[in-house]
Amino acid sequence: MARYVAAATLARAADGGAVVAVVLLATGSGAPGWLAGLLGASITAPHLLGPFVARSLDTARDGRRVIALACVVHGAAFAAAVLLYPHTWPAVAALLLAASGLAGPLLTGGISSRLPAIAGPDRASQRRAQGWDVATYGLGGTIGPAIVAAASAWASPTVAALILTAATFAAAALVGLLPYAPPPAAGLDVPRPGRTLGLMLASGPLRRTLYMTVTVALSVAVLPIAAVVSTDRLGSGPAAAGILVAAYGLGNLAGSAGLMVRPLRGDADRLMTGFAFAVAAALGCLVVVDGFAFTAVAYAAAGILNAGFFAATLAARSEYAPRQARAQVFVWVGALKITAGSAGTVLAGAVALGSDRVPVALALGLTTACAAASILDRRKARRHGHSTPGP
């Protein structure tokens, strides 16, 4: 488990810091903002194609080799893009970044799909391990950009990018040291990505996992934009926005630490609904509270509750996914989550209009409606006599 946590944190730090490094590299060289944004999108947009890559995990004799290779490809293509960018056309760098981004989903959802085989057979062990996994996402999302910022200030964005490359190579080595697990789909027909999505939509728990994950990801993605816009209303300086975002991140880490000590109990499907309502309550607090201190507490609460929601979605993916498509289910949900987060950021920027409460209120409405819809969805399935599928 220690090797898993180290590998996952390194891989996710590299994945999380890559966009920051690319944007700093482009803007530092005098490139216009639109080009920096295009290069950043080149590494994030291919995540949506992750499910088409993830099938290799369900069919491989040794999934460790697939993930280790993905780490190497991600790092090598990223390093090549960064080193060639000053000396070639931007389109070449964009293509290399797209190749790096295509391997990205295997560094996130792909690694998580290995967790059930590592954590042990009983549900308590699985749930505790999922708390650790949530922590690796939080640590990776915090450490990666921090490394890039520090290394860029100390040396250059190019050096920062090469440090991230080294992290992916180290992650590849650690993945190779994880215990071998036989392929979960041995002797079974592994579905194609489109059919896997169909199986997810036909399964009540997986369907609810999918649309609740997408909605909550979109909703919490408005918070960084709202933090920036809120500084005028709160009468604080621009640096206060960073404090609010940090409060959310620290809350997320605190929530994951709590999940390690006290793992989630109960049905994962219902836990997702409960945590979605809880996240909505935290968003509601942000709509009504005044004062910087109370706002910071609400941001931290949102982070804590989103950690619980994320752990519940990991449990749902692990417990409800069919064996022959488990990795694809993990990556489908992860890919759509990343896409929804990007959409939430764009949406917040479009509707903020000088008020941080507008995007947060919209996120509150979406999350509440989604959680309520999951209850109706579950009741409808019970009326029709559909039982919750097992692993």
Nearest alpha-carbon partner for 147 in 335, 15, 301, 289 = 15
**pLDDT > 90 fraction of the chain, expressed in percent and rounded:** 36
Copy the structure tokens of residue 61. Answer: 């004799």
| Cα separations in angstroms, 209 against 19, 36, 180, 226, 307 | 27, 34, 28, 26, 15
Confidence of residue 11 (pLDDT cuts 50, 70, 90): very high
CA distance 110 to 125: 20
pLDDT at 56 over 90: no
For every residue of 82-105, DSSP letters joined together read HHHGGGS-HHHHHHHHHHHHHHHH
pLDDT for res 277 = 97
The Cα 41–Cα 97 span in angstroms is 9
Are 201 and 33 within 8 A, CB to CB?
no
Mean pLDDT of the chain: 86
Q: List the one residue out of 2, 258, 12 whose CA is nearest residue 136.
A: 12
Categorize the per-residue pLDDT at 238 as very low, low, confident or very high, splitting at 50, 70 and 90: low
Residue 228, pLDDT score: 80
Answer for the pair 317, 331: CB distance below 8 angstroms, yes or no: no
Cβ neighbours, 10 Å, residue 390: 7
Q: Return the closest-CA partner of residue 167 out of 10, 18, 6.
A: 10
**pTM of the entire predicted model:** 0.84
Provide the sign of the torsion angle of the four alpha carbons 314, 319, 320, 321, taken in this order: positive
pLDDT tens readout for residues 285-318: 999 988 888 999 999 999 999 999 999 999 999 8
- In this prediction, residues 156-168 reach a mean pLDDT of 92
A 10 A CB-CB count for 384 gives 8
| Residue from 73, 100, 70 nearest 85 by CA | 100
Across 5-9, 39-43, 89-93, least confident range? 39-43
Q: What is the mean pLDDT of residues 147-167?
A: 90
Confidence grade of residue 390 (pLDDT, cut at 50, 70, 90): very low
Q: What is the pLDDT of residue 186?
A: 56
**Per-residue confidence (pLDDT) for residue 361, from 0 to 100:** 93
- One-letter amino acid for residue 362 of the chain: L
Reported as a single tens digit per residue, the pLDDT across 194-233 is 888 999 999 999 999 999 999 999 999 888 888 888 877 7
Which strand (E) or helix (H) includes residue 369?
Answer: helix 357-383
> Residue 187: which pLDDT band, with cuts at 50, 70 and 90?
low
- Confirm if 275 and 208 have CB atoms less than 8 A apart: no
Share of the chain above pLDDT 70, in %: 95
Q: How many helices (H) does the chain have, and how many strands (E)?
A: 17, 0
- Over residues 64-83, the pLDDT tens digits come to 899 999 999 999 999 999 99
The 10s digit of each residue's pLDDT in 254-280 is 998 898 888 888 899 999 999 999 999
What is each CA distance from 333 to 109, 213, 279, 365, in whole angstroms?
A: 8, 7, 19, 22
pLDDT at 15: 85
How far is Cα 102 from Cα 104, in angstroms, rounded to an integer? 5
